[in-house]
Amino acid sequence: MSMAAGEYVSVKSQEDTERADLKMESDALANNRTGEEEELAAIYRERGLDEGLAKEVASQLMVHDALGAHARDEIGITAELGARPIQAAVWSAVAFSLGAAVPVATATLAPTAALLWLVPLLAIGLLGALGAIAAAVGGASPMRGAVRVCFWGSFAMVLTALVGRLFGVAG
């Protein structure tokens, strides 16, 4: 729940920023529509359109959906990629709950003498496998994804152990 709450707060902050940006853009459109159309045309020129086509595209998009055009092309906000705090929180809760199942099952089933090395070893192995899968699904290097997730997961485990030792709650 902690991770889900953190994810919600983080993505909710992103959503608040997106809303504020859209409000600012909406105000700019209301107060300086001509300047905003010129700004949009400049964006299209920078992307490679010639002057006439850039002005025509900007003009037509301003008539069709001025705020949507500015949100997408100036600010980078799209409906598909906009912040979704509840969705982020739910998936975070599911992912962390499933990820916790391996160390919890190991701690429950393994002999006590083996827990100190078995739980971290299996957790890091699971992290590496998930990092590789996530990278491969995203079209990136599975090895790079696995190494990155294993490194940061190990770093987090070591830091947690050190903090526990500092406060006298670890052996």
Percent of the chain with pLDDT over 90: 55
Percent of the chain with pLDDT over 70: 99
The distance in angstroms from the start CA to the end CA of the chain is: 26
Residues with Cβ within 8 Å of 132's Cβ and at least 6 positions away in sequence, in order, are 142, 143, 145, 146
Q: How confident is the model at residue 166 (pLDDT cuts 50, 70, 90)?
A: very high
**pLDDT given for residue 75 in this prediction:** 85
**pLDDT given for residue 7 in this prediction:** 83
**pLDDT given for residue 141 in this prediction:** 94
pLDDT (tens digit per residue) in 7-17: 888 888 888 98
Q: Cα(94)–Cα(99) distance, rounded to whole angstroms?
A: 8
Q: Which residue, among 69, 76, 87, has the nearest Cα to 4 in the 3D structure?
A: 87
**pLDDT given for residue 132 in this prediction:** 94
**pLDDT given for residue 78 in this prediction:** 79
Which comes out higher in pLDDT, residue 127 or 80?
127
Q: Indicate if the pLDDT at residue 168 is higher than 90.
A: no
**pLDDT given for residue 171 in this prediction:** 53
Helix (H) or strand (E) holding 137: helix 115-137
**pLDDT given for residue 1 in this prediction:** 77
Joined tokens for residue 115: 């827990």
Is 1 buried (19+), middle (13-18) or exposed (0-12) by CB count in 10 A? exposed
pLDDT (tens digit per residue) in 76-120: 887 777 778 888 888 888 888 888 888 899 989 999 999 889 989
Which comes out higher in pLDDT, residue 6 or 140?
140
**pLDDT given for residue 170 in this prediction:** 61
